[in-house]
Structure 1
Amino acid sequence: MRLSRIIMALTVGLAVVAVPTAAGAAQPQPTPSTTTDPTQPPPYTPQPPALVVSQPTIFLGETVVLTGTGFGPTETVDIAVTVAPLAAPAAGQAPARRSDGSTVAMAPVAFQASAPVNFTAFTNAQGRFSKNYKPSVTGLLTFTATGRESGRVASTELRVLPKRQPLPVTGDSLGTPMKLGGGLVAAGAVMLLLTLAWRRRQRFGGTAN
């Protein structure tokens, strides 16, 4: 009798221990994910460096904007300037056209020995810079920009023509102002005579009364 009780107690104990194990085994296990992690974007490839001027042809005394892109972020860019004489146009060649649509004659310009001064610019976080530039000489100017840290190089050209000369005054252009001035003088003389006549009339009229 005592042996049967011992066997029964062991059986109940084993059953109690086995219930949680069976319950845990019955729970669905998470299936491994079949999707992979998203691929990383390719590394950023910087754009090639470029250097442009706001106007390709200007007159001496005017200012252009020099813009550089594709350089290193927040770096110093050295800009070297060289000058060469403008080439005379070939026979039948059309005159140069400015950005505003007007045309300019490409007359040959004597070379000037005094070279322009080099200068520097500083890029922003996107590797871009803008610099105002006022040429001091005429000719074909070549700008070469070089980034100190990145070593990137870009260049552009600018044609600088002599200052525009005022139009000469001809006989035809003087005719109209002289005619207009003569008419004004004649009108003034007539008004003066009328004023004197009116004053004389008032004077004699006042004496008679």
Structure 2
Amino acid sequence: MRLSRIIMALAVGLAVVAVPTAAGAAQPQPAPTVTDTPQPPPYTPELASLTVSRPTINLGETIILRGRNFGPNETVDIVVSVRPIAAPAANQAPARRSDGTTVAMAPVAYQASAPLRFTARTNAAGEFSRSYKPSVTGLLTFTATGRESDRTATTELRVLDGRQPPPLPVTGDSLGTPMKVGGGLVGAGTVLLLLSLAWRHRQRLGLRSH
């Protein structure tokens, strides 16, 4: 009897202890709180840009160079390289020979000058504006590089010669035809003059004979 009572007491005690534990396990657990603040995306700097006020000008005119997205208050080095502009074949009038054939007049080779260099200064927003007057014709390429930011941008400008092209030189073959025509006209005029004098002379002789 004592053994059975001891076993029953132990069973009851274990049951009493297990009930709060099970009840605590059944209760919903609070969701974990997020303490880390979200990080912003990595900063990507905008690309530098360089533009001209007009893409094509005549020699002697002035354009405005504008740069953006360079470093604030920095010096920008600008290098200008020059390349020739090929003249279209339609603008090259051929020289004509006396026999009717033509000879193509090849343009003189253009020698590009050495690259030009100058500087510009940006404002607090990394922008600058600078006037520029080209001294040569051709296709000009501007390359701007910030000294501190090392940002680079390029743009192009066509500089044309606004003057009229010089007249084509007269070749020996082209001169031969006008000289031949002129000589023929002089000869024909001489013959007509002699015939006119002969006719007048006959008229005078006829009058005297009457």
Structure whose alpha-carbon radius of gyration is higher? 2
TM-score by length of 1: 0.49
Q: TM-score, normalised by structure 2?
A: 0.48
